[in-house]
Amino acid sequence: MSVRAHFIKKIDYDPSEVFNLWHDAEFVSIMESYANFQVNEDVIGFVEIGKEDWEIMKECEDLSKFPEIVKDIDKLFEREDNDFAGEWVRFYCF
């Protein structure tokens, strides 16, 4: 099996920030156990979390300090413009 690399023509992202990898370090630290972080040493890249892992994270972790982030991520799972609606949420970090 091979894995091919393709040129990315455009990354279309929502301009509103959901969380900040530096300023929301406590939330990110919790999320690292549940999400797939594909970021480089400059913290540029992608973070994605599946709906099942998100629900487990909400059940197992105390996220009471982050009500806005939790609310925003819950909404993202249901957005019609999310190509993975109901299954995944992917974040572009830069």
Q: What pLDDT sits at residue 73?
A: 97
- 11 assigned to some structural domain: no
What's the 3-state SS for 16-58? CCCCCCCCCHHHHHHHCCCCEEEECCCCCEEEEEEHHHHHHHH
Instruction: Give residue 43's domain range.
Output: 25-93
How many structural domains are present in the chain?
Answer: 1
Give domain status of residue 4, yes or no: no
Q: Is residue 16 part of a domain?
A: no
Residue 8's pLDDT is 85
Query: Does the residue 20 lie in any domain?
Result: no
Per-residue pLDDT tens for 7-57?
888 888 999 999 999 999 999 999 999 999 999 999 899 999 999 999 999
Q: What is the pLDDT of residue 20?
A: 95
